Structure 1
């Protein structure tokens, strides 16, 4: 075996690197590159008030998450469970098979459900935008209406990708996301050069969504044609089964939105715009690299679902343990890389000054460790089509509210970070570990008896 093959074998066997993880890594690395490039174009081609409008559009656009609230994750899990019970899937496409029929009915249900949700999401975003932009020019409000339609349409792309991921096409989904992200970024930049201003954001995002949608369908036309044209002879009641889980996911997803999006505006209010900016930029770098380490778990979601559906719990536990260890190892390596990289940047005052000091970076990285472990626990248990982390999510969100509105104003940024560090390591991680160990045994036993 030559040197190159030995390195490849090491990555595959020891670190568990595969095509899914590589493409997920490309997405995260592109996000790291895209951020500074976008900032350059925004500063160069937009006036200060236009820059504020740009970021307001982005932040308000995030409201669409409240229309989704974890539904895509649920569909991925349910599709995986149905797909796992179909042998020779490609050969059965277009045939009269009971397993395929059930899978098609599930996919059609999810698409019909989203076709009802998307117009509601668009309407809510337009109404909220009216109160934000009613004193702006008509061009701004029209741009927001169009942006709302584009944002709502992106939810359909999300559910298509959730379905595709559910049948094990994780690599294809990551490739599609990568292609769409490049199209959006380049589209935004080119249109800014041609003075489209806020419309550059709208049309750039539209270009990315169209490319993702077309590419997703073109990758497997036989599959999507089967979904559209299959003759169902039996009805399945997916609504009661899925909605019974949806409300639990909704609580977790809504809590997560506030957990990850609250600190910057609170720092802006109680500390300063400078501290808020340093925190936002530092967390963008941390999140991008930590996101790569999470790929060792998130790209395995369909496999976890398949193993649960097939009652292969010994293989599931072994596979999860290996993936968890690999993810943890990569997270530690990237954490050290971030500390070293920012330490080097600190010698260039113009760049290093834009980030938090290293002591704060270290604390934030230490907080990320229990957060990622808990995320891995949640992914494992959700493979059983359950959501046992509802109370945990509420406690987590409540802790963030205390940190933001009680600890920060009284004890400052230092006090808030120390509070969160103690909460995650001494409170939330032990609580999540208890949930994981108890529910893991319970869910396995229920499946065995079932």
Structure 2
């Protein structure tokens, strides 16, 4: 953030973070499938294990279902990546053209940023499967190295006065690391995906007892797709609205502060997310006590980290705004503190949602739709009339007074119903779908 603040003008900063918000529209192309893949993978890996170079070992039925899952999801993401380029490139050009009378290049950087994001989207199914299988440390290590590589490339471009080309550099770092890892460490998984469509496994994976997309995956995916798509209006609409009504400088201040808040959220939930792949296996084995213990411990740790980060982040912005000019790149520190405080509710909401979805069900669709309507309307109205203050206050109120209590009551009701002695046994591979 310091590099962005020192190497980009306030107007460029607004373009940069609004780029990021519009690129988040990728969630309308993956339609929640990344999370669904991880959940199904965790259930399938009860009867599977990894071999050298990403090969799979297990019962013939489980291997066939895994191969089918891998092949169908790579096709989905390939088509999604292509559609993303076709749709987002011209849409972004039209949107930014309204403020496009500036003295720096933005059209080519935007186009390259969309292409880079789409190519990163295509690699997602491989790592979602690995995450669901329990390879949490491996996936997190890859994400850490990717983040470092992307940051170094971004800093290098900014230091060389590359301006908004830094948005593409961020994606380029992730591409190099992701494909480098797959080709060097998991080549057999890539070969299996290829053989599943064009080789000898194509007929085998279509045999009786295989994975049914429409009967097993789609019933969960379409609900999650609505939830994920709706969440865009909850989390990503701030910058475009402020950019449209108050200009790129205000949008840049909000974007910088949101980046800090998202970093706080991501860092805090890491201690919880490492345990999420285990949830699916515990659900399959009906080990409810162990599931609850891990859930409560992870949530508690995440909240403690968020408390420390909120105090530290708010204090840092106050100090910057009191003693340096860099503080002008953030929204006022009191508003930033309110934004950081919302992270507490987001952590609990995310934890409850992960707990529920580990049962291969999506009971939060209605809540997400209602929340997206409320947050989208509030962001537009209060953002238009009260700028960053209106957006921040509305975000805090909707999360604390609507999303959090709604999610908690759904969690409590579903937990009681699903874990009762009369509840049906969890689905096993090859049985009737959801």
TM-score, scaled relative to structure 2: 0.81
What is aligned with 1:367?
342
Q: Is the 8 A contact 1:187 1:204 kept in 2?
A: yes
**8 A contact 2:363–2:410 mirrored in 1:** yes
Aligned residue for 2:425, secondary structure, equals helix
C-alpha distance in 2 between matches for 1:284 and 1:354: 12
1:36 corresponds to: 2
Query: Using the alignment, how far apart are the partners of 1:125 and 1:323 within structure 2?
Result: 37
Q: TM-score, normalised by structure 1?
A: 0.78
**Which one of 110, 116, 120 corresponds to residue 79 of structure 2?**
116
Which residue does the alignment assign to 2:309? 334
8 Å contact 1:42–1:51 — kept in the other structure? yes
Task: Classify 1:194/1:317 alpha carbon distance in 2 versus 1 (closer, same or farther; 3 Å).
Answer: closer
Q: Distance in 2 between matches of 1:249 and 1:219?
A: 31
Q: For the Cα contact (< 8 Å) 2:7–2:161, is it kept in 1?
A: no
- Equivalences for residues 15-414 of structure 1 within 5 A: 35-43=1-9, 58-86=20-48, 89-90=50-51, 93=56, 97-129=60-92, 131=94, 146-191=112-157, 201-202=167-168, 205-225=171-191, 231=201, 232=204, 234-235=207-208, 236-240=210-214, 241-268=216-243, 275-408=250-383
Asked if 2 retains the 8 angstrom alpha-carbon contact of 1:85 and 1:310, the reply is no
- Preserved contact between residue 79 and residue 107 of structure 1 (Cα < 8 Å): no
Comparing 276-285 with 229-238, greater Cα deviation is found at: 229-238
Distance in 2 separating the partners of 1:63 and 1:195: 28
User: Is the contact made by 1:187 and 1:205 (CA closer than 8 Å) also made in structure 2?
Assistant: no
Q: Distance in 2 between matches of 1:316 and 1:397?
A: 30
Q: Shift of the alpha carbon at 1:195?
A: 6.8
Count of matched residue positions in the alignment of Structure 1 and Structure 2: 410
Q: Is the 8 A contact 1:290 1:334 kept in 2?
A: no
Question: What is the CA-CA distance between 1:271 and the residue it aligns to?
Answer: 5.7
- 1:423 aligned counterpart, secondary structure: helix
| Unaligned ranges ≥5, structure 1 | 1-34
Give the SS at the match of 1:250: helix
Deviation at 1:377, TM superposition (A): 0.6
Aligned Cα root-mean-square deviation (Å) = 3.5
CA distance, structure 1, for counterparts of residue 119 and residue 372 of structure 2: 29
- Please list every run of 5 or more consecutive structure 2 residues that lacks an aligned counterpart in the other structure: 428-434
Deviations 1:290-321 (A, max 9, x none): 32111122222211112112222221111111
- Cα distance in 2 between the residues matched to 1:371 and 1:160: 27
CA distance in 2, matches of 1:67, 1:388: 21
Cα–Cα, structure 1 residues 447 and 417, in superposed 2: closer, same or farther, change >3 Å? same
Relative to structure 1, the CA distance from residue 373 to residue 223 in structure 2 (aligned partners, 3 Å threshold; closer, same or farther) is same
Q: Alignment partner of 1:448: what SS?
A: coil
